A and B are shown apart, each in its own frame.
Chain A
Amino acid sequence: MSRNANLGEFEQIVLLAILRLGDEAYGVTIRDEIRQRTGRSTTPGALYTTLDRLEQKGLVSSRLGDPTPERGGRAKRYYSVSAAGADAVERAQRSFQSMLEGLHIFRRNHA
């Protein structure tokens, strides 16, 4: 993985959702977490292609859990953020903060 890999906005959101969920991050919970935190309804197709891409970049890894009956006997694929993934999120957030510095666009007091 390149150290300079840039993350898109949705990739950052997915990585942060996985980090928040810890050991319970799989497709359904990641979508729920994103919906609850951002109010954004994510399609399964968008999430899986993003997870696939992040895994190819080496930013997340996955492992299969145990099969469960409510899933028709299929295993969950649990995702975790790699060290490179955590670094990439941190870099992206630092860049974002740096761009915001000195701007006062969020001040509510317009006096």
Chain B
Amino acid sequence: MRNGLIPEALLSLTSPPDRAESMAGDLLEEARSRGGFWLAAALAGVVLAMFFQAFGAARVRTLRLLALGLVVWFAVYVAARVGGALIGVEPLLIDARDIGALPLGTLLYLGGLLMLANVVTGFVLGCRGAVNGMSPVMPLAVFWAATALVGFCSDVASGTPTWYCTLIYLGGLPLLYIAPLLLGGILASHAAPALRVGFSR
């Protein structure tokens, strides 16, 4: 198995597969002399630059995908919460003002539902056509990342950051939102041809 699959997979979120392959090769070649930190920074820079280029070329379509993603995510999450309440797993309304005081079982339940909602959303978005070579899950992934960044900065700026809010912004959003969303998109890119839905690069 060849190395550097993660950089190539990340680059393929914003570029067609053949472009992602050659760009990943370039970055891996340079990283041999510059190191892993440079590779991570360069990778993030390329993904963001390609995302904003695709967004600039197709603003309306990108925003539509973001809106669709938010609607699907909200619908799936609410449906799962209602379903969970109906079968008696957890009540529909959970007092989350002090997240740190919630029982572990409740936290795992809420985290699991968030992951499920994002995987399903990623799958639904992933079955739609790419935007200028950019994966259709990227608008929502960037939105979640921006939400985490803004939330974290606001929390720090407030002067009273709490450990659980910091954990949610820096760990929870990437783990419960972004990673499952990308996973759903990748699953869709493999399953869509078999399901004969319109995934294309």
Contacts and interface: CB of A to CB of B under 8 A. Distances in A.
A39 interface: no
Contacts of B22: 26-27, 64, 74-77
A105 interface: no
| Chain B contact surface mostly | helix
14 contacts: A27-B22, A28-B29, A28-B30, A45-B42, A45-B47, A48-B23, A49-B50, A49-B53, A64-B18, A67-B25, A71-B29, A74-B22, A76-B25, A76-B26
Interface size classification for chain B: 20 to 34
Interface of B: 2-4, 8, 15, 18-19, 21-30, 32, 42, 45-50, 53
Contacts of A8: none
A60 B2 CA distance: 30
Contacts of A52: 19, 50, 53
The 6 closest A-B pairs by CB, nearest first: A45-B49, A74-B25, A71-B25, A27-B26, A77-B22, A72-B4
Given A72-B2, A74-B4, A75-B21, A44 B53 contact: no
